[in-house]
């Protein structure tokens, strides 16, 4: 019997750009008035939590760092280091597609362990360190956590790749381990290993 194709579709946001209570809806743990937390609702096929102005304002006031909006140059740093992270330490992971926007990133990765949170921690950690080096000082670039969707079978994996390829506002990304930036006219410019 042959194995069905498997990939993890991972998403995370830049720090401060999608807070609990956000007007677009949200998927986050929510602090309740008594100081406890309501666990996030992150089940495929279910709606996200509705906007809540009070929750949003409380989250905004609790921010410990500046909100992060990535530039194209910073997004290219992220894309380049996603590809490096996949192959560092003889991991042998393969990024089928990644899309880096100003406020979040999507990655479809295969050949990795069946442990989305662990894979996400590696990708976020490597890109966090690379962004801080590029910036010249450490800072908080990403929110905690993220979303890990397990994709089984050709159609599910292909749908995740297509979803990432057609994101609005892509600044840079990875296409089958090839790093690219999106030019002002919308064309993809693939980077060589030294860029």
Query: What count of residues does the chain have?
Result: 195
Query: What kind and span of H or E run contains 58?
Result: helix 53-62
Q: Report d(CA 108, CA 152) in Å as an integer.
A: 12
Statement: residue 47 has pLDDT above 90? no
Q: What is residue 54's predicted lDDT score, i.e. its pLDDT?
A: 83
Q: What is residue 28's predicted lDDT score, i.e. its pLDDT?
A: 65
Q: How far is CA 88 from CA 18, 112, 120, 126, in A?
A: 30, 12, 15, 10
Closest to 19 (Cα-Cα) out of 65, 82, 74: 65
Q: What is residue 30's predicted lDDT score, i.e. its pLDDT?
A: 64
The chain-wide mean pLDDT, for the chain, equals 90
What percentage of the chain has pLDDT greater than the value 90?
A: 71
Q: Report d(CA 28, CA 38) in Å as an integer.
A: 9
Domain boundaries, the chain: 6-13+68-190, 18-65
- Residue recorded with tokens 């209570």: 21
At residue 46, the 3 state secondary structure works out as coil
- Residue recorded with tokens 């297509």: 162
Q: What is the pLDDT of residues 3-41, one digit of tens each?
A: 678 999 999 999 999 888 788 776 666 666 677 766 665
Which pTM value belongs to this model? 0.87
Q: What is residue 120's predicted lDDT score, i.e. its pLDDT?
A: 98
Q: What is residue 5's predicted lDDT score, i.e. its pLDDT?
A: 81
State the chain's maximal CA–CA distance in angstroms: 55
Higher pLDDT, 38 or 146: 146
Mean of pLDDT values over 50-73: 88
Mean of pLDDT values over 168-182: 98
Q: What is the pLDDT of residues 85-131, one digit of tens each?
A: 999 988 999 999 999 999 999 999 999 999 999 999 999 999 999 99
Statement: residue 1 has pLDDT above 60? no
Q: What is residue 32's predicted lDDT score, i.e. its pLDDT?
A: 66
Q: What is residue 151's predicted lDDT score, i.e. its pLDDT?
A: 97
Roughly how many angstroms between the first and final C-alpha of the chain, as a whole number?
43
Instruction: Give the list of residues 6+ apart from residue 110 with CB closer than 8 angstroms, or none.
Output: 5, 6, 7, 8, 93, 94, 96, 157
Domain 6-13+68-190, CATH homologous superfamily name and number: Transposase IS200-like (3.30.70.1290)
């Amino acid at each position: 019997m042959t194995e069905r194709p498997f990939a993890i579709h991972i998403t995370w946001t830049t720090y401060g750009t999608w807070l609990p209570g956000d007007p677009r809806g949200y998927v986050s743990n929510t602090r309740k008035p008594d100081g406890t937390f309501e666990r996030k609702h992150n089940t495929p096929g279910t709606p996200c939590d509705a906007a809540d102005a009070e929750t949003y304002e409380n989250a905004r006031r609790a921010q410990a760092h500046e909100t992060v909006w990535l530039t194209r140059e910073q997004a290219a740093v992220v894309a380049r280091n996603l590809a490096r992270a996949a192959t560092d330490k003889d991991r042998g992971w393969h990024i089928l597609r990644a899309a880096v926007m100003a406020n979040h990133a999507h990655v479809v990765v295969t050949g990795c362990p069946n442990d989305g949170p662990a894979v996400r921690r590696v990708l976020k950690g490597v890109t966090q360190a690379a962004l801080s080096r590029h910036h010249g000082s450490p800072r908080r670039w990403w929110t905690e956590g993220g979303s890990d969707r397990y994709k089984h079978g050709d159609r599910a994996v292909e749908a995740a790749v297509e979803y990432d390829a057609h994101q609005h506002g892509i600044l840079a990304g990875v296409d089958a381990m090839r790093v690219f930036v999106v030019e002002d006219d919308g064309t993809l410019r693939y980077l060589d290993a030294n860029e």
